[in-house]
Structure 1
Amino acid sequence: RRMLKGENIDDTLIRIADREVGLLINPSERNFLGQYVGKFTTKHNRQDLSTGYSISVSSDQKISLEELRFSSMRIINSREEIPSQTGAMYKFYLNRYFDLK
């Protein structure tokens, strides 16, 4: 659902970074974190597959959150800073990020 018809992965990453957090990225510098399968308890037992990447950006860029999607943000600098109530998918990607660091 996040990837639009006709987009490739680079197009998707550029669009999401720009529209949702206001950052300009170079998608060729992405680091693959992994894939996460989310299972939902619904009438159809739906599953979602997500793919996570980390991409470094220059420190002079300012994050600008899309208000309809985000109410706040928190910078996590170490595995120990991951809040205990963090959802399973986000915890998975944060742990993978710190594993690869």
Structure 2
Amino acid sequence: DDDGNKLTTVEYSYWLYKQGYTIAQIAEKRGLNPVTIEGHLARYVATGDIDVHDFIYGDTLEKVEAYLAGHSDEKALKPIYEYFDSKISYGALRMAIAAIRKE
């Protein structure tokens, strides 16, 4: 901003999101991959600053929560993605896990 305060790349993505931009719009505006923006915003889901339900719908959160209850040491997204037969996107998984682990 004009006061010389610089936002980090993550903060800038969050700021654009709060201005009403979608993940795709933020990615396009910033010249970044949408997956990168999802990662930025997942940090704010983890802190509770963004509601996970802005990104995931239906019973997705409950399904991921149930999976993680039985696989609490799981760190990689790929096994979870494959468990759900690719029906839940990596972005949705990332958001759900951020929300679950903040609790």
Report the TM-score when normalising by structure 2: 0.34
TM-score (norm 1): 0.34
Instruction: Pick the structure with more helix per residue.
Output: 2
Give the number of the structure with larger relative contact order, counting CA–CA contacts within 8 Å between residues 6 or more apart.
2
